[in-house]
Amino acid sequence: MPDFPWDSLATAAATARAHPGGIVDLSVGTPVDPTPEVVAEALRAASDAPGYPQTWGTPELRTAVAAWFARRRGVPGLDPDGVLPTVGSKELVAWLPTLLGLGPGDLVAHPRIAYPTYDVGARLAGARPVVVDSVDDLERAAAEGPVRLLWLNSPSNPTGRVLDVAEMAALVTAARSHGAVVASDECYAELSWAGAAEPSPVPSVLDPRVSGGDLDGLLAVYSLSKQSNLAGYRAAFAAGDPVLVRELLQVRKHAGMIVPAPVQAALTAALADDAHVSAQRERYRSRRAVLLEALGRAGFRIDDSAAGLYLWATRDEASAESVAWFAERGVLVAPGSFYGPAGARHVRMALTATDERVAAAAARW
């Protein structure tokens, strides 16, 4: 396994903590606003849970997921049998190659600048991670060996780039031609800064314009950690091809990978309530505006960042230099190099700090 990247931020963190105004930690995308009351209440109401929960999720949860896809993601008619709750989505990202039975000789493709767990998941299975951002990349990888799984991540962590319908559809078609499963990690889909268009302007891999109306080999991976301030609940799910979901379900039943019953109830309630999601989106929108203005003043350029919880910023210097510049001003950010060598001249700044801390950071630049 690679070293856990955040451990290497200890020096910058110590510098930032020594600032007289206190640290502003923008290095991790961990929500700081309260868990919505409607969700906490559902958790409390389900707290008497003496029996084992269903690995597949309650019928209510699976129906709520299907209704959410129809309402928010432009995916009508999703079969609730093709839904599977997960213990947060990081575990699924890390274990999907293993759950699919991949191993030595198999290739797992993921974006060039990416959340590190796609690579970790390939390694856990003994498979080989390869970088794929385009159909050409996929064809090159497929010439080296069997690409069995293609990860998409839109909106991207860390860049905030959004794949449009045509880009996604082309990747799906190419992956299918090689028999690869396409898993699309979409956990920032509700945080689009393009406007409040409904349904989401961020297409899902299950959107019929992408899938062609056939979910064969497709899996959307979604988490409520970010949109609903539920990272502490570990509340997420995968949805898509019912045949694939059943295969994953069988292994997860054997392995005891079960979402606790009160969390299933909380997840169901959260998916039925859009109001808390828009309130949270507006909080992030105003923090983002404050940071954007201050970063501009400090000479940073923002690349991509059309959606999601991060600003992908550069001053055309090594990311370690930018990290040190921010740390001297009491602000901790993540170097882009955590997300691959192609990120080595950017830093990633999360919007997950209180209004007070965000204002404090902006005032120091």
Ligand X SMILES: Cc1ncc(COP(=O)(O)O)c(C=O)c1O
User: Which DSSP category does 227 fall into?
Assistant: T
Binding mask 3-42 for ligand X (x = CB under 6 A): --------------------------x-------------
Min dist. Cβ of residue 225 to ligand X (A) = 3
Q: Does 307 contact ligand X by CB under 6 A? A: no
Q: Which of 15, 184, 225, 319 binds ligand X (CB under 6 A)?
A: 225
Among residues 15, 55, 153, 192, the one that binds ligand X under rule CB under 6 A: 153
User: Distance between CA atoms of 16 and 151, rounded to whole angstroms?
Assistant: 35
Q: Does 336 contact ligand X by CB under 6 A?
A: no
What's the CA gap between 336 and 310, in Å, rounded? 11
Decide: 92 and 186 in contact? Cβ < 8 Å.
Answer: no
Residues 57-96 that bind ligand X (CB under 6 A): 88-90, 93
Q: How far is CA 217 from CA 145, 225, 280, 359, in A?
A: 19, 25, 33, 45
**CA–CA gap between residue 256 and residue 233 (Å, rounded):** 17
Tell me which H or E stretch contains 335: strand 334-335
Question: Closest distance between ligand X and the C-beta of residue 365, in Å?
Answer: 25
**CB of 67 vs ligand X, minimal distance in Å:** 20
In the complex, the smallest distance separating the C-beta of residue 89 from ligand X, rounded to whole angstroms, is 4
| Nearer to ligand X (CB atom), residue 175 or residue 231 | 231
Minimum distance from CB of 153 to ligand X (Å)? 5
CB of 64 to ligand X, least distance (A): 17
Q: Cβ of residue 187: shortest distance to ligand X, in angstroms?
A: 5
Residues 6+ apart with CB under 8 A from 270: 36, 38, 39, 42, 224, 228, 230, 235, 276
Contacting residue, 35, 55, 58, 157, with ligand X by CB under 6 A: 157
Judged by CB, which is closer to ligand X: 72, or 90?
A: 90
CB under 8 A, 24+ apart: contacts of 359-364:
359/290, 360/21, 360/22, 360/24, 360/330, 361/24, 361/26, 361/291, 361/294, 361/329, 361/330, 361/331, 362/290, 362/291, 362/293, 362/294, 363/294, 364/19, 364/21, 364/329, 364/330, 364/331
Q: Total number of residues binding ligand X (CB under 6 A)?
A: 14
Q: How far does Cα 203 stand from its chain's mean position?
A: 14
> Between 180 and 219, how does the x/- string for binding to ligand X read (CB under 6 A)?
-----x-x--------------------------------
Residues in touch with ligand X (CB under 6 A)? 29, 88-90, 93, 115, 153, 157, 185, 187, 223, 225, 231, 236
